[in-house]
Amino acid sequence: MLIHARNVLSPAELQRIRALLDAADWADGRITAGTQSAQVKRNQQLPETAAQIGEARAIVRAALARNAQFFSAALPREIYPPLFNRYEGGQHFGNHVDNAVRLLPDGSRHLRTDVSATLFLTEPGSYDGGELVIDDTYGEQRVKFAAGDMVVYPSTSLHRVEPVTRGARVSCFMWIQSMVREDAKRALLHEMDLAIATLRAEHGDTEAVISLTGNYHNLLRMWAEL
């Protein structure tokens, strides 16, 4: 399941993050890559030591916390502290699958990556290339969204970022450990949640809507790992 979440950041938040990132010193993107992905990763990343990373992360975390579409699709249990990257001058990231388990930046414990997300921070017209290409169940998806929009997809997917041949592509990316590990179960719950919301809007809280809402919660109760 691939989700397009629109306007995740407000224009003011987007502007603030861009100002923070424009002032930052970037590092080689291979600092967080695994052995296979380090071979194919050519980009820049904001290091943990960057003065701007705390505020930029807080803006993204607050935006995710208020986003009902993201919650319904990802059912987040824990979000890896958001990371920021930049591609320019032909930089790209070849085909890879994200590491299944990641150590948190503070080294305290591990997080399983069930869901991946990229939040776009530069307008698509300001750079050429840089599409995020994701192998989905239904074929290859080429993603290049408006600044402030986000793509959410299963971490099990093979994906790449095409070379950026003009301008710079700046984005935020993150991994989520979900309460529901399997993509098929998350997709079913998300579709059910959307259908219930539509029914409720059209007919109000009828007996059937209340019953289906109960079914949703009982399925989530059956599948959630906390």
Chain residues binding Ni ion by CB under 5 A are 98
Residues 6+ apart with CB under 8 A from 154: 1, 114, 115, 116, 183
Identity of the residue, 98 or 149, whose beta carbon is nearer to Ni ion in the bound complex: 98
Query: What are residue 79's DSSP bridge partners?
Result: 176
Q: Rounded to the nearest whole angstrom, what is the least distance from the CB of residue 170 to Ni ion in the complex? A: 16
CB-based closest residue to Ni ion: 98
Q: Rounded to the nearest whole angstrom, what is the least distance from the CB of residue 213 to Ni ion in the complex? A: 35
> Residue 147 carries which side chain, given as an amino acid letter?
A
Within the chain, residue ranges assigned H as helices are 11-22, 35-40, 53-65, 68-74, 183-203, 207-223
Question: In Å, how far from its chain's centre is CA 74?
Answer: 9
Identity of the residue, 98 or 162, whose beta carbon is nearer to Ni ion in the bound complex: 98
Q: Rounded to the nearest whole angstrom, what is the least distance from the CB of residue 104 to Ni ion in the complex? A: 18
Identity of the residue, 33 or 63, whose beta carbon is nearer to Ni ion in the bound complex: 33
Output b/e per residue, 132-141; b: 16+ Cβ within 10 A: bebbeeeeeb
Identity of the residue, 82 or 193, whose beta carbon is nearer to Ni ion in the bound complex: 82
Q: Rounded to the nearest whole angstrom, what is the least distance from the CB of residue 116 to Ni ion in the complex? A: 6
